[in-house]
Amino acid sequence: MDATAPSAPAEARRSRARLMLLYWLPIGLYVAIVFALSSLSSLPFSLPPIRHLDKLAHLAEYAVLALLLARALRAERPGAAAWKLWLGAVLLVAALGGLDELYQRSVPRRDADLLDLLADVLGGMTGAAAYLAARRLLGRR
C-alpha cells in the first residue's frame, strides 16, 4: 500500500464535505433568507398591486428552492430515477412551505394561507421538473 495515497475514509470525508459545501449549503442559505423574510411583519419592498402577484412570488420562490433541492438530491443519489428525485424535492418543498406558513402565524400582521402553500408546492413541482428536464436535455448532447 502506498503511504502517500489517501485512505478511503479520508477520501469519503472530503467527498462528503464537498457535497455539503456545494449542494446543501446553498439550500440552507436560501431557506434562511426565506424564513428571515417570513419573520418580518411587512416586507422591506412592496409588490405592484397586481392581483395574485403574491402567489406568483411564492411559486417562483419555491421553484428556485426545488431546483436547488433536486440538484442536491441528484448529487447525493446520481443513479436515482428522475421521478424519485422530483418527488423528494417536491415533498421537501411542501414540508418547508408548510413550516413557513405555520411560522408566519406567529409573526405580527402575518398569517398562514393555504393558497400560499399551494403556490409553494406548485412552484416546487415546476422547479424540480425544470431542473431534471434541463439535466436530461443537456445529458443528450
Q: What is the pLDDT of residues 75-114, one digit of tens each?
A: 999 999 999 999 999 999 999 999 999 999 999 988 899 9
Torsion, Cα of 60, 63, 65, 67 (10° steps): -140
Q: How far apart are CA 65 and CA 38, in angstroms?
A: 15
pLDDT at 141 over 70: no
User: For residue 11, is pLDDT > 70?
Assistant: yes
- Distance in Å from the first CA to the final CA of the chain: 40
The alpha carbon of residue 65 and the mean position of all alpha carbons in its chain are separated, in whole angstroms, by 3
Region 1-23: mean pLDDT is 77
Distance CA 138, CA 22 (A): 20
* pLDDT score at 95: 98
| pLDDT, averaged across the chain | 91
Looking at the predicted structure, is the pLDDT value of residue 2 above 60?
Answer: no
Helix, strand and coil content of the chain, in percent to the nearest 5, comes to 75, 0, 25
Low-confidence winner among 33-42, 86-95, 124-133 (lowest mean pLDDT): 33-42
**Whole-number pLDDT of residue 6:** 60
